[in-house]
Amino acid sequence: SIQHLVLLCGHYEGIDERILSRVHETISIGDYVLSGGEVAAMVVSDAVIRLVDGVISPESIDEESFENHLLEYPQYAAPRVYEGMAVPEVLLSGHHENIRKYRLKEALRKTKLLRPDLLEKKDLSKEEKKILEEFDF
């Protein structure tokens, strides 16, 4: 476990090579160009801080995206109907098992559409395999 983390934020052209020669590790947050390193530092800070004991409950971390190689299922809030779009009835039913199944199916659908590479890393359960077979894309 690391006790200290220093993030150097380059701007425009980057960071002086003499400083970089003393750096132990570099991190990339993606294949795109930003005008400065501050936004990238915030991304890394947020990702790291969440893992510090006591910041977020272990249960919440277990349910978050990427912990189980699935993107998170869709989220809904009040009101029940917004501009003609309703919260799915199953989520209002109070039937916990049906809600769990709905959320799993939607997480699998979203992952298959947006990040199929994550499914390659996942040890799929029988239930998950069956759900994926139902999709026609």
pLDDT in tens, 92-132: 999 999 999 999 999 999 999 999 999 999 999 999 999 99
- Residue 74 identity (one-letter amino acid): P
Roughly how many angstroms between the first and final C-alpha of the chain, as a whole number?
42
pTM of the prediction? 0.68
Residue 30, token pair as written in the block:
């993606």
Taking domain 57-137, whether its CATH number is 1.10.1270.20 is answered by: yes
Query: Which contacts of 48-55 are long-range, i.e. CB under 8 A and separated by 24 or more positions?
Result: 48/5
* 36 vs 41: CA distance, rounded Å: 9
**Interval 8-59: pLDDT, tens:** 988 877 888 999 899 988 889 999 888 889 999 999 999 999 888 899 887 7
* Domain spans in the chain, listed from the N-terminal domain onward: 1-55, 57-137
* 137 vs 73: CA distance, rounded Å: 18
